[in-house]
């Protein structure tokens, strides 16, 4: 069990600019965002399309270096590590559920799930994978290639891959986007259960009801952190997201 008072994410004054076609001036997507999270905390990031949610998740998780500002995960700045050490750090400490799944089509579902374990030279327990897939309501054959699976089943494979890795922090970009309502509730329940074990979860979602069930909701608009709601409610989130006069 991890110390629930331990700060595991510390993001300070993050700015992210990207080059745009036909323009000499880079586009600023994130404008000086700062936030922190502790072990066992469940954060949701909500906001309109184009607000910078997925970009923030990539920067926070060590996948996309900020133009300026600092990111510390478990006291480590992943952007100060050599490429091999950064990859090892992410593999051992940080999980990422990608919106586009990021699976390897040429591998069966089972091999996609256990790939991080094999890369980290950790023991693969087929029984544990089978139990997890049952919990996820996974209906396909795990020996089938992921390219033959539906979008919803591919999403479950992507989620299972992160859940078996025992990461200290999990970043999830719309983890329930392709799933039916029953599967959404199952996935959310599993993520919530992980927080009770001290795992920190940061989730981008469009699902206001789901965001309202997290410990803290961060609302973004136009690349700026608009509001942090502790113990958010759906009503409070709708109010913030629908406020006018900006």
Residue 99 burial (CB count, 10 A): 16
**pLDDT, mean of residues 193-203:** 96
Q: 39-65+79-242, which class in CATH?
A: alpha beta
pLDDT at position 245 is 38
**pTM for the full model?**
0.93
pLDDT of residue 2: 64
- Measured CA to CA, the distance from residue 50 to residue 220 in angstroms comes to 10
Q: What is the mean pLDDT of the chain?
A: 93
Per-residue pLDDT at 246: 46
List, for residues 162-187, the tens digit of each pLDDT value.
999 989 999 999 998 888 899 999 99
- Whether the per-residue pLDDT at 223 is higher than 70: the answer is yes
**If you average pLDDT over residues 127-134, what whole number do you get?**
95
Residue 170 burial (CB count, 10 A): 24
- The rounded distance, in Å, linking the Cα atoms of 25 and 33 is 21
pLDDT, tens digit (0-9, with 9 covering 90-100), for 42-96: 999 999 999 999 999 999 999 999 999 999 999 999 999 999 999 999 989 999 9
Compute the distance between CA of residue 201 and CA of residue 132 in angstroms, rounded to an integer. Answer: 18
Domain boundaries, the chain: 39-65+79-242
Residues 6+ apart with CB under 8 A from 178: 151, 152, 154, 155
Q: Calculate the CA 177 to chain-centre distance.
A: 13
DSSP 71-135: EEETTB-GGGS-HHHHHHHHHHHEEEE-TT----TTSBHHHHHHHHHHHTTPPP-HHHHHHHHHH
Q: What is the pLDDT of residue 1?
A: 56
């Amino acid at each position: 069990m991890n110390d629930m008072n331990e700060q595991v994410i510390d993001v300070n004054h993050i700015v992210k600019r990207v080059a745009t076609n036909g323009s000499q001036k880079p586009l600023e997507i994130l404008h000086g965002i700062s936030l922190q999270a502790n072990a066992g905390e469940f954060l949701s990031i909500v906001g309109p399309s184009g607000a910078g949610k997925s970009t923030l998740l990539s920067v926070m998780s060590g996948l996309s270096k900020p133009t300026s500002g600092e990111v510390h995960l478990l006291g480590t700045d992943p952007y100060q590590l050599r490429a091999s050490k950064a990859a090892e750090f992410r593999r051992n400490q940080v999980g990422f559920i990608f919106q586009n799944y990021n699976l390897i089509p040429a591998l069966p579902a089972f091999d996609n799930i256990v790939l991080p374990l094999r890369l980290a030279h950790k023991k693969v327990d087929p029984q544990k994978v089978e139990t997890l897939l049952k919990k996820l309501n996974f209906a396909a054959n795990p020996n089938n290639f992921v390219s033959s699976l539906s979008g919803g089943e591919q999403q479950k494979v992507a989620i299972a891959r992160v859940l078996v890795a025992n990461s200290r922090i999990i970043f999830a970009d719309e983890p329930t986007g392709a799933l039916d309502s029953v599967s959404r509730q199952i996935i959310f329940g599993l993520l919530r259960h992980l927080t009770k074990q001290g795992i920190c979860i940061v989730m981008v979602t469009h699902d206001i009801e789901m965001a309202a069930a997290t410990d803290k909701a961060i609302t973004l608009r136009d690349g700026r952190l608009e509001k942090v709601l502790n113990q958010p409610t759906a009503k409070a989130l709708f109010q913030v997201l629908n406020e006018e006069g900006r």
